[in-house]
Amino acid sequence: MLEENRKAQEEAEETIRNSRTEAEKESTRMKLLDSRFKDIVDWGERFDFMTVDEQRGVLNQLIERIEVSRGYHIQIKFTVSLEDFFGEEAEEGKVRAS
């Protein structure tokens, strides 16, 4: 019985270690996403105060092509992919395009 309890304790400790490791990884991921979100919000606020020519320049660098088809179906092709922008988050499938 003592051996069973020891084994159960070791398994519980391993579960705790794994949970802590996963929590640390998730915390790091959330900090990274929060930083990127703040950058996007900051960029959006600055964009509002740019001149029209500056706005066009930014959009020209971000957008490769815009296609408008019947029924006003709009497809925008960006020069930057989700993988480039979000890094491994997109590669792991944690970020989806809508």
**Interval 23-70: pLDDT, tens:** 998 888 888 878 777 777 777 788 888 999 989 988 888 889 999 999
d(CA 72, CA 74): 6
**Domain identity same for 60 and 45:** no
**Domain identity same for 81 and 69:** yes
Query: Hey, how many other C-beta atoms are within 10 angstroms of the C-beta on 83?
Result: 12
* Residue 81: strand, helix, or coil: coil
**Domain identity same for 41 and 64:** no
Q: What does the pLDDT read at residue 37?
A: 76
For the chain, the domain total comes to 2
Q: Contact, 86 vs 96, CB < 8 A?
A: no
- Residue 38 structure tokens: 């703040």
**Domain identity same for 55 and 41:** no
pTM, 2 dp: 0.44
pLDDT band at 80 (very low <50, low <70, confident <90, very high): confident
More reliable by pLDDT, 22 or 80: 22
Residue 98, domain extent? 51-98
**Domain identity same for 25 and 3:** yes
